[in-house]
Chain A
Amino acid sequence: ETGVTQTPRHLVMGMTNKKSLKCEQHLGHNAMYWYKQSAKKPLELMFVYNFKEQTENNSVPSRFSPECPNSSHLFLHLHTLQPEDSALYLCASSQDRADEVTEFGPGTRLTVL
């Protein structure tokens, strides 16, 4: 059982909806990440938080808004998404850096209608 949990596991939303994805880790890690995996594309890094501070925003559109209230929780707020945003959204954590053993969550399968 992974130490990183994500909810919901599946989400279907319309383009005008507002929803949030939640990620939680109980590993004592200091770094947390949001990744997007679309079909037939490389895994894309979206956001990085280290000690609750955002250290990277990988040119992600503003309709995706991350929030990290503490080092164990990470949210991804979604607003006015497009159908091309449909993908698997993976949360991950590592002790401090991305090249350390990174634990991934099970992902949220998002479908935007």
Chain B
Amino acid sequence: EDKVVQSPLSLVVHEGDTVTLNCSYEVTNFRSLLWYKQEKKAPTFLFMLTSSGIEKKSGRLSSILDKKELFSILNITATQTGDSAVYLCAVEAYYNTDKLIFGTGTRLQVFP
């Protein structure tokens, strides 16, 4: 059965800290891995990763995929209180391009 596991489930840090969020997966015919940030309600898209070893960056956020070891990490440097959210990892498989399998998310809380 396809599954996506995120860790840690919850993380509390102070502003300025650097955090690493983990996402591991077991999916037949992997196609892509996506990271979302969910604040209050609707998730917003962060990154899509399809190739191993190629880092994607957006400001203080970066992410990389390891297709051999079946995981991805999301790094946030110099965290700010506005980074507080649930970070969702999702994986899409080739056999059904309409389906994303989500992890439970990592809840990040950043305190001043």
Binding site for B on A (CB under 8 A): 2, 4, 31, 40-45, 48, 50, 55-56, 58, 88, 90, 97-99, 101-102, 104-107
Bitwise, B22-47 to A at CB < 8 A (1) or not (0) is: 00000000011010000001111100
Q: How many residues of chain B are within 8 Å of chain A by beta carbon?
A: 23
In contact, B45 and A101 (Cβ under 8 angstroms): yes
In contact, A43 and B88 (Cβ under 8 angstroms): yes
Alpha-carbon distance between A56 and B99 when the two chains are bound, in angstroms: 8
Q: What does DSSP make chain A's interface, helix, strand, loop or mixed?
A: loop
In contact, A98 and B104 (Cβ under 8 angstroms): no
Bitwise, B69-112 to A at CB < 8 A (1) or not (0) is: 00000000000000000001010100011111111110000000
Give every chain B residue within 8 A of A90 (Cβ-Cβ).
41-43
Give every chain A residue within 8 A of B44 (Cβ-Cβ).
104
A-B contacts, 5 of them at CB < 8 A, read A42-B104, A44-B102, A50-B98, A88-B41, A101-B48
In contact, A45 and B100 (Cβ under 8 angstroms): yes
Set A41, A50, A55, A105: member contacting B42, Cβ < 8 A: A105
With A55-B98, A56-B99 known as contacts, the answer to whether A99 contacts B48 (CB < 8 A) is yes
B4 at the binding interface (Cβ < 8 Å): yes
In contact, B42 and A31 (Cβ under 8 angstroms): no
